[in-house]
Structure 1
Amino acid sequence: MDIFAFLFMISSCSLVFHSDFSNAADIITQSQSLRDDMTLVSKDGSFELGFFNPGSSKNRYLGIWFKNIPVKTVVWVANRLNPINDSSGVLMVNSSGSLVLLSQNSTTVEWRLSAWKSPEDPSPGELTFGIELNNYPGIVMKKGSEKYFRSSSWNGHGYSGIPEIKGQPVLNQTVNLLERWVEADNKRNLYTSYPKDKCDEYNLCGVYGNCIISESPFCQCLEGFKPKSSETWNPDEWSKGCVRRTQLSCQDKDKIGFKKFVGLKLPDTTNSWLNRSMNLEECKVKCLNDCNCTAYSNSDIRGEGSGCAIWYGDLIDIRQISNGYDANGQDIYIRMHASDLEKLENNVMIDQNIEGQREDQELPLFNLATIVAATNNFSSNNKLGEGGFGPVYKGTLTDGQEIAVKRLSQGSGQGLNQMRAKALGWSMRFNIIYGIARGLLYLHEDSRLRIIHRDLKASNVLLDSKMSPKISDFGMARICGGDQTEGNTNRVVGTYGYMAPEYAIDGLFSIKSDVFSFGILLLEILGGKKNRRSFHPDHSLNLVGHAWKLWKEGRPLELIDTCLEDSCILSEVVRCLHISFLCLQQHPEDRPNMSYVVMMLHSENSLPEPKEPGFFVGKKSSLLGKNQSSSTNEITVSLLEAR
């Protein structure tokens, strides 16, 4: 081999170097070498190879970096673990055609991208990001030896569960981000981060668990499966996963079939088998005839699909792929007992039969007399048990239907105290944010009559047992007919601190007034503080003003509730803060509608730059000294209006 050819690959990005000094400074032959004071430049002038010392370090490394970027961005280092402590290093091609670095140490090229430990130390950090070379290769991020994030394998279009990698990614060891150089900005900008959301955490839902980011809780058992432990299947612990409702046996081959699951990030492929020449029907036959086969799928989804991927053993690390997250969700066929398949088919038939009859279904309401009669006046013989909010009784209605009734006790504060004792983590807060946004979207656009709430605030958002938000208190709401989206009033009602400027000052309200209130609520959820009660010791700005000041100074993370430090997804938090400022714009026409807010919450598209928000105000310094404290009560203006 008389030409040095180096291939660096990360996902779909590739870099090729050819070197030889005889004609130009981009080729090296066996008769020549590269000393410490020399470099090679790629033919198109994009990359440069040579020796360098990172940051303030005195150690010398052989590496490749971008030639035309002012900030030196190294994409490969040969001797990461064996630095040279002087300038005696020499790169050459030896007699056997191997590329060698002549020094006291030797080096091996690794086929992965690892984060540096620090800007001065290119030795591998804890994070690695690269292609796992098993039977069905896929992209994996690891922390040490433990998997931290995983995409599906290459399916012909891309890797499901990961966006298309553009340009040369740089892995940031500190905050798990991938960055890329943007020529127009003359700096590295955030490209994406992992995990992007809770469902990106490796094997979050355990065996046969499917992570669905739009559901609460996130983890759901696949159809035909049930939680392995119902006691631990809660928002804090899903790792035990799910088990089959009906166990399989190798002796019951005639009672076996396959259930098709659509739009998934395919399971971990550690125990898998791949044949790219087989079709889907051949794949099914092979899986059916192998008692150890758990599932099968096309390995290539282009056209009508081709190739065969087979899984053995339990299936882990599955998530539902939504259109807003990724367009490469795949279908997989999972081995199941015939009795479970029949139940699933019957459920589909029932759903189809009652389709269109659900519109008028409501929860039944019972008066106290009916409940008293059903429970025999809350007889002790009917008592089933007691929970944090009071005793539970068995009851029987006049039509024979059995019910359970919880009677709230006067001191039923245990459940509330338990809830208050634990601060909400980021995944739960994001679920609440998204739920509120979807609720407002329904009121503004999806309801038969358009509803403007006019008093959206924290105390008017209720959380159910699954911590799913429900917008409440419609006493001040306005119903708009037809295409009407705004109105005006001489009597302003609502809560100071949440009112949009045009409503509080001029009495003009619209769906954009609710958007402003949502922006305040979003800011409060991120910061863990009330808008009208949060004052920084260094200034007298309200929460909106304080947040905007930090945003303009490039310190947005200082606003975030300290309780979120261990659970938050950095890029997601910053994006939510960005969205809150867009909702808080001074003029209604500058604010997004709720359909766009919902889309922004679950996409990675770039966001418009926000202007200074409305109600960017604070107290006069003469009214709030450094040694004084202030407590502003939340006041609701509730003048009655005729409707």
Structure 2
Amino acid sequence: MGVTLLRIFLFMLLISISNSYDRLTPAEPLTTGDKLISHGGIFALGFFSPTNSSANSYVGIWYHKIPVRTYVWVANRDNPIASSSPGKLVLTNGSDLVLSDSEGQTLWTTTNSISPGGIKTTAILLDSGNLVIRLANGTDIWQSFHHPTDTMLPDMSLPLSKNTSMHLVAWRGTDDPSSSDYSFGGDSSLQIFVWNGTRPYWRRAALNGVADYAMYQRNGLSMTQTIVNRGGEFYLMYTISDSSPSVRMTMHYTGMMQILVWNSSSSSWYCFFERPGSSCHRYASCGPFGYCDTTQEVATCKCLDGFESNSLKFTVGCQRKKELRCGTGDSFATLLNMKTPDKFLFIRNRSFDQCRAECSRNCSCTAYAYANLSSLGTTVDQSRCLVWMGELVDTEKRGDGFGENLYIRIPSSSGKHQTNGPMDFAIPEQLSNSDEQYNQNSEFLQISFEDIIPATNGFSDSNVLGKGGFGIVYKVT
């Protein structure tokens, strides 16, 4: 009987010890040399130095079972612990995680600001790689998935908005986790970008209801990437099957957005997908009215239909073979399977025919595209009418079936000229996002066509401020 009770006691003790490895409480801080291990042993959290030298140290999360040390999150990436000062990570009675050095200087902290009046919280490292601060009732009041560094893990959601705290920001180098100039994320025009500082480096086109769901299956990997709609807010996320190897989406310090898969046979990560894949994929690399043809064995810059190169350097772009006259007989050429250009205007509540008419009746409109977003579960207007004014930049011909039709204006074959009438919309001074957004609460000003006409004096030449890289810029009065 005594032996049996001893065995039960030891068994319960082991369970208690193993469960304590994945969490912090106010009574149990984490110090240099300690680490948390998620319940299933998938991830670990602790102090680390990027090299084996006595360099500065950080608190981060890495894969626990993968022999190649791979970090997926760093708390104090831009404020390291000095090499001569051991650190301590504490969960306070106020429900915040605080990282400090031996002198008590705070190097990183969460900002939950909950009154410590009897509220019990625990910091838990989950098998998903997410570090959460959890209340006793199971509510998570903070999570590292909402404050990523350079890596997006399965089941993490990346908002397609201007919330820069939810962008992936690359390390500055192999051994330097501090923030670099390269970042990856969405913007409020529902496009996805890689930025170099504030300049676009690569772009994924606006939602079209087709390329917004994709399934990849290869070498044991089964991954689904999708755009999800949560109450009118859109998020990028991906999931993997239980039998799939480890997968991570990382913004690399070279400026590449990569999807990496663990190969247990070679004990290494292999790159499953990366963008920009070549110089042709880089933002606006083929210049105005040029496009990157990715259907060829080697991606090549070409000119859109009705245009020809005006330089040996494609970055200069293309020019029209024949000038537009905006008269009777003007038509639109249909370009199939295209990545739509940047710098568009989004018009609400239009059918396909109405979208075409909006562009057709305005001489400044150079192209339009239409899509139905019903597959995304939008609760309001499910149409997506995009129109372009002036130059078309960052266009691509796709060979994967995820492109869409782009309709570009071509000159009248008759050569007859029609005097330009009043135009219904203008080129805004800043057109990195559509003027009309899916979200009615957008921070961007929403302007109707009727309001734009008098504001620009009917697009009077006296209101022209200049011509930039994306067309004519008008002064609004």
TM-score of the superposed pair, with normalisation by structure 1: 0.40
Q: 8 Å contact 1:64–1:75 — kept in the other structure? A: yes
- 1:115 matched to 2:159? The reply is no
CA distance in 1, matches of 2:298, 2:270: 33
- 1:332 deviates by 2.1
Name the structure 2 match of 1:201: 282
Rate the CA distance shift 1:285–1:82 in 2: closer, same or farther, 3 A.
farther
CA distance in 1, matches of 2:31, 2:414: 68
Higher helix residue share: 1
Give, as a single letter, the amino acid of the residue that structure 2 aligns with 1:53: S
Give, as a single letter, the amino acid of the residue that structure 1 aligns with 2:369: S
CA distance in 2, matches of 1:330, 1:261: 8
- The CA deviation string for residues 164-197 of structure 1, in whole angstroms up to 9 with x for no partner, is 7882134553595834321232212233444434
- 1:130 matched to 2:206? The reply is no
Q: Secondary structure in 2 aligned to 1:169?
A: strand
CA distance in 1, matches of 2:178, 2:376: 45
Name the structure 2 match of 1:527: none
- The CA deviation string for residues 219-244 of structure 1, in whole angstroms up to 9 with x for no partner, is 332223344x3xx2x3x444233347
- 1:297 matched to 2:389? The reply is no
Give, as a single letter, the amino acid of the residue that structure 1 aligns with 2:304: L
CA distance in 2, matches of 1:264, 1:113: 27
CA distance in 2, matches of 1:321, 1:329: 6
- 1:46 matched to 2:42? The reply is yes
Rate the CA distance shift 1:339–1:286 in 2: closer, same or farther, 3 A.
closer
Q: Secondary structure in 2 aligned to 1:51?
A: strand
CA distance in 1, matches of 2:411, 2:406: 17
Q: 8 Å contact 1:287–1:294 — kept in the other structure? A: yes
CA distance in 2, matches of 1:33, 1:309: 54
Name the structure 1 match of 2:346: 273
Unaligned runs of 5+ in 2: 1-16, 110-146, 149-164, 217-224, 226-237, 241-246, 417-477
- 1:202 deviates by 2.4
CA distance in 2, matches of 1:331, 1:36: 57
Give, as a single letter, the amino acid of the residue that structure 2 aligns with 1:112: H
Q: Which deviates the most, 59-68 or 293-302?
A: 293-302
- The structure that has the greater radius of gyration is 1
Residue 392 of structure 2, aligned match among 315, 340, 343: 315
- 1:27 deviates by 5.1
Give, as a single letter, the amino acid of the residue that structure 2 aligns with 1:68: K
- 1:328 deviates by 1.0
- The CA deviation string for residues 339-363 of structure 1, in whole angstroms up to 9 with x for no partner, is 16999xxxxxxxxxxxxxxxxxxxx
% same residue: 28
Q: 8 Å contact 2:48–2:58 — kept in the other structure? A: yes
Q: 8 Å contact 1:219–1:238 — kept in the other structure? A: no
- 1:44 deviates by 4.2
CA distance in 2, matches of 1:170, 1:84: 24
Q: Secondary structure in 2 aligned to 1:56?
A: coil
Rate the CA distance shift 1:79–1:217 in 2: closer, same or farther, 3 A.
closer
Q: 8 Å contact 1:41–1:48 — kept in the other structure? A: yes
Residue 60 of structure 1, aligned match among 57, 61, 77: 57
Rate the CA distance shift 1:27–1:284 in 2: closer, same or farther, 3 A.
farther
- 1:266 deviates by 1.8
CA distance in 2, matches of 1:28, 1:341: 77
Rate the CA distance shift 1:303–1:25 in 2: closer, same or farther, 3 A.
same
Residue 270 of structure 2, aligned match among 189, 192, 216: 189
Rate the CA distance shift 1:206–1:238 in 2: closer, same or farther, 3 A.
same
Name the structure 1 match of 2:406: 332
Give, as a single letter, the amino acid of the residue that structure 1 aligns with 2:167: R
Q: 8 Å contact 1:34–1:92 — kept in the other structure? A: no
CA distance in 2, matches of 1:161, 1:221: 29
- 1:75 deviates by 1.1
Give, as a single letter, the amino acid of the residue that structure 2 aligns with 1:150: R
Rate the CA distance shift 1:45–1:294 in 2: closer, same or farther, 3 A.
farther
Q: Secondary structure in 1 aligned to 2:106?
A: coil
- 1:316 deviates by 0.6
Name the structure 2 match of 1:90: 89
Q: Secondary structure in 2 aligned to 1:168?
A: strand
- The CA deviation string for residues 116-149 of structure 1, in whole angstroms up to 9 with x for no partner, is 23332111345x3522313122242x44444333
Give, as a single letter, the amino acid of the residue that structure 1 aligns with 2:384: C
Give, as a single letter, the amino acid of the residue that structure 2 aligns with 1:211: C
Q: Secondary structure in 2 aligned to 1:199?
A: helix
Rate the CA distance shift 1:162–1:115 in 2: closer, same or farther, 3 A.
farther
CA distance in 2, matches of 1:119, 1:217: 29
Taking only aligned residues, the RMSD between alpha carbons, in angstroms, comes to 4.4
CA distance in 2, matches of 1:98, 1:312: 48
Q: 8 Å contact 2:293–2:397 — kept in the other structure? A: yes
Rate the CA distance shift 1:183–1:273 in 2: closer, same or farther, 3 A.
farther
Unaligned runs of 5+ in 1: 1-20, 344-643
TM-score of the superposed pair, with normalisation by structure 2: 0.52
Residue 219 of structure 1, aligned match among 301, 306, 315: 301
- 1:66 deviates by 1.4
- 1:242 matched to 2:334? The reply is no
Q: Secondary structure in 2 aligned to 1:211?
A: strand
- 1:257 deviates by 5.1
What is the count of residue pairs matched by the alignment? 306
Larger relative contact order (CA 8 Å, sep ≥ 6) = 2
Give, as a single letter, the amino acid of the residue that structure 2 aligns with 1:307: S
Q: 8 Å contact 1:90–1:101 — kept in the other structure? A: yes
CA distance in 1, matches of 2:254, 2:107: 29
CA distance in 2, matches of 1:246, 1:191: 44
CA distance in 1, matches of 2:88, 2:352: 54
- 1:206 deviates by 1.0
Rate the CA distance shift 1:25–1:209 in 2: closer, same or farther, 3 A.
same
Name the structure 2 match of 1:70: 67
Give, as a single letter, the amino acid of the residue that structure 2 aligns with 1:169: M
Q: 8 Å contact 1:259–1:341 — kept in the other structure? A: no
Name the structure 2 match of 1:259: 333
Higher strand residue share: 2
Name the structure 2 match of 1:210: 291
Q: Secondary structure in 1 aligned to 2:412?
A: helix
Q: 8 Å contact 1:226–1:245 — kept in the other structure? A: no
Give, as a single letter, the amino acid of the residue that structure 1 aligns with 2:412: S
CA distance in 2, matches of 1:291, 1:91: 63
- 1:104 matched to 2:137? The reply is no
CA distance in 1, matches of 2:214, 2:278: 11
Rate the CA distance shift 1:219–1:87 in 2: closer, same or farther, 3 A.
same
Give, as a single letter, the amino acid of the residue that structure 1 aligns with 2:179: P
Name the structure 1 match of 2:204: 151
CA distance in 2, matches of 1:299, 1:290: 20
CA distance in 1, matches of 2:410, 2:173: 53
- 1:173 matched to 2:253? The reply is yes
Q: Secondary structure in 2 aligned to 1:147?
A: strand
- The CA deviation string for residues 76-104 of structure 1, in whole angstroms up to 9 with x for no partner, is 22221111223234253674x66554543
Give, as a single letter, the amino acid of the residue that structure 1 aligns with 2:300: F
Give, as a single letter, the amino acid of the residue that structure 2 aligns with 1:82: N
Rate the CA distance shift 1:137–1:310 in 2: closer, same or farther, 3 A.
same
Rate the CA distance shift 1:243–1:50 in 2: closer, same or farther, 3 A.
farther
Give, as a single letter, the amino acid of the residue that structure 2 aligns with 1:318: T
Rate the CA distance shift 1:245–1:45 in 2: closer, same or farther, 3 A.
farther
CA distance in 2, matches of 1:22, 1:217: 53
Q: 8 Å contact 2:301–2:314 — kept in the other structure? A: no
